[in-house]
Amino acid sequence: MKKFSVVVAGGGSTFTPGIVLMLLANQHRFPLRALKFYDNDGARQETIAEACKVILKEQAPEIEFSYTTDPKEAFTDVDFVMAHIRVGKYPMREKDEKIPLRHGVLGQETCGPGGIAYGMRSIGGVLGLVDYMEKYSPNAWMLNYSNPAAIVAEATRKLRPNAKILNICDMPIGIESRMAHIAGLKDRKEMCTRYYGLNHFGWWTSIEDKHGNDLMPKIREHVAKFGYVPPTEEPGTEASWNDTFVKARDVCALDPDTLPNTYLKYYLYPDYVVKHSNPAHTRANEVMEHREKHVFGSCNAIIQAGKSSAGELEIDEHASYIVDLAAAIAFNTQERMLLIVPNNGAINNFDPEAMVEIPCLVGKSGPEPLVVGNIPQFQKGLMSQQVAVEKLVVEAWEERSYQKLWQAITLSKTVPSASVAKAILDDLIEANKEYWPELK
Ligand SMILES: NC(=O)c1ccc[n+]([C@@H]2O[C@H](COP(=O)([O-])OP(=O)(O)OC[C@H]3O[C@@H](n4cnc5c(N)ncnc54)[C@H](O)[C@@H]3O)[C@@H](O)[C@H]2O)c1
Ligand SMILES: O=P(O)(O)OC[C@H]1O[C@H](O[C@H]2[C@H](O)[C@@H](O)[C@@H](O)O[C@@H]2CO)[C@H](O)[C@@H](O)[C@@H]1O
Ligand SMILES: [Mn+2]
């Protein structure tokens, strides 16, 4: 079987160790000859990389491992780029979440003004990775899950239309795992689902088991009462995430014929979210206090002891969708996966140039979207507004346009007025001076 060379862009990510452990657990179906990390923060990356070096030596010494901050070294001779960068890192995520709250608007990583600010930072970062890949390994594919995936996907569609990049998200994976447990199944892959929307803004329309039995009624009955919290709680779910899964019961009330992505709570219940937010302590603080502390603490312990058992790093099971995708391209498996792709008529009554999250069959030449057909007025109206926000952000970045970014924030369903939007925008410009292009 052919062996592949992968570079992880954003090697210093808290998700990198879990993904490395997942790659090692999937060598039978996606074998590696080389694994590289690339990051523009050498110190952050070094801690993660040195710990992963110990793990790789123990489990797969035959895989050539290295890490670098040099793009040429990182992107030369690679088959796949797995990209999970966070431009501005957690300190900027904290500002994305706290600045809108100062103005009575929800602060969230990928939604509303926070997501727009994050998008304005991410576009340049991800396009830079695409350009390195095309310069040093023109035949490679980029599997991107750097957020905000919706805005990044629109930017790559518009500004790098020929790039071999696939934009993906693990939220539907996480929710489907819970749905499977609610339905009494072991694994989400025992289900066949139909879904449509934008990234972090979608709905399931059909969920069947492998025999074609309709699971929607049973799952929906549970979700309407308990949200996406299975009868036996998923271990390790943090309180704020549990709140989000429970809130799905109110989100699903809006449409009895579908089941919602959890992120719709931010657009349908923004007042609830603001009321339950602590402007002094947001999700970014929780992640720095928990995931970041846990991952870097474990990595340092592994480095000190020189053995992986000194740490408590866990395999990121959900991340196996990344190998599903890489294997589908490498071996033309025609895997059926949710990807963020140009609509191009798949949703018949929606903008053909929108980037939509829909089921695709994936083979060596990339994704082939499945037809969705017409969508109802409720979803069409919501998606039209949200996709216009995402498109305006990319236009604002490309044209350095204050006006268009003001329009984007004003148009967001999470923002009450143009005056509040302008106040938030002016604060975000000040906070992002190091990262955004200068707007005129
Ligand atoms: N698509 C999804 O469903 C999904 C799921 C989980 C996480 N994510 C995304 O994965 C990314 C990583 O998340 P995290 O919490 O581990 O963040 P993190 O801050 O721990 O790691 C991000 C890394 O990216 C690096 N980086 C930033 N800008 C860079 C650039 N221009 N070039 C190279 N490296 C750069 C940082 O130095 C850092 O080491 C985020 O974008 C997050 O939103 C996406
Ligand atoms: O607040 P965070 O950083 O913990 O999570 C934000 C991300 O949430 C989603 O990814 C989840 C995933 O859905 C869940 O199943 C599990 O694997 O954890 C992931 C990260 O927490 C979402 O899809 C991402 O886009 C967000 O960045
Ligand atoms: Mn996501």
Which whole number is the average pLDDT over 166-187? 96
14 lines ligand 1 (CB under 6 A): yes
- Paired with 66 in beta bridges are 36
169 lines ligand 1 (CB under 6 A): yes
Query: What are the CA-CA distances from residue 56 to residues 36, 39, 305, 432 (Å)?
Result: 12, 19, 15, 38
Residue 236 confidence class, pLDDT cut points 50, 70, 90: confident
Q: Which three-class secondary structure state does DSSP give residue 141?
A: strand
Pocket-forming residues, ligand 2, beta carbon under 6 Å: 109-110, 147, 169-171, 174, 283, 287, 318
Cβ neighbours of 45 (radius 10 Å):
22
**Cβ contact 168:155 at 8 Å:** no
Which whole number is the average pLDDT over 108-129? 98
pLDDT number for residue 232: 87
Which whole number is the average pLDDT over 205-226? 98
- Give the tokens for residue 204: 């399931």
10 lines ligand 1 (CB under 6 A): yes
65 Ramachandran zone, left/alpha/beta (phi>0; psi -120 to 50): beta
Smallest CA separation from ligand 2 atom 14, residue: 174
Q: Strands 4-9 and 80-83, how do they pair?
A: parallel
Separation between Cα atoms, residue 410 and residue 397, nearest integer Å = 16
Going from the Cα of 128 to the center of ligand 1, the distance in angstroms, rounded, reads 14
Given a cut of 90, whether residue 235 has pLDDT beyond it is: no
Going from the Cα of 96 to the center of ligand 1, the distance in angstroms, rounded, reads 15
Smallest CA separation from ligand 2 atom 12, residue: 171
39 lines ligand 1 (CB under 6 A): yes
Separation between Cα atoms, residue 110 and residue 358, nearest integer Å = 19
- Ligand 2 pocket test, candidate residues 171, 195, 264, 286, most atoms within 8 A of CB: 171
Smallest CA separation from ligand 2 atom 3, residue: 287
Given a cut of 90, whether residue 317 has pLDDT beyond it is: no
Given a cut of 80, whether residue 123 has pLDDT beyond it is: yes
**Cβ contact 35:23 at 8 Å:** yes
Given a cut of 90, whether residue 60 has pLDDT beyond it is: yes
Separation between Cα atoms, residue 336 and residue 192, nearest integer Å = 9
Element of type H or E holding 111 = none
Atom of ligand 1 lying closest to residue 124 CA: 31
- pLDDT by residue (tens digit) across 336-375? 999 999 999 999 999 999 999 999 999 999 999 999 999 9
pLDDT number for residue 233: 77
Residues in the chain: 440
DSSP 347: B
Of 378, 105, 96, nearest to 251 by C-alpha is 378
Of 423, 82, 382, nearest to 260 by C-alpha is 382
Question: What percentage of residues in the chain have a pLDDT greater than 70?
Answer: 100
- To the nearest whole number, what is the mean pLDDT of the chain? 97
Given a cut of 90, whether residue 316 has pLDDT beyond it is: no
Going from the Cα of 1 to the center of ligand 1, the distance in angstroms, rounded, reads 31
Smallest CA separation from ligand 1 atom 39, residue: 12
pLDDT number for residue 434: 98
Given a cut of 80, whether residue 65 has pLDDT beyond it is: yes
Residues with active-site annotation: 170, 263
pLDDT number for residue 74: 98
pTM of the predicted model as reported, rounded to 2 decimal places: 0.98
Of 92, 96, 153, nearest to 126 by C-alpha is 153
Instruction: Name the phi and psi angles at 356, rounded to 5.
Output: -115, 155
41 lines ligand 1 (CB under 6 A): yes
- Ligand 2 pocket test, candidate residues 84, 126, 170, 244, most atoms within 8 A of CB: 170
4 lines ligand 1 (CB under 6 A): no
Ligand at minimal distance from the CA of 118 is 1
Which whole number is the average pLDDT over 146-159? 98
Separation between Cα atoms, residue 402 and residue 405, nearest integer Å = 5
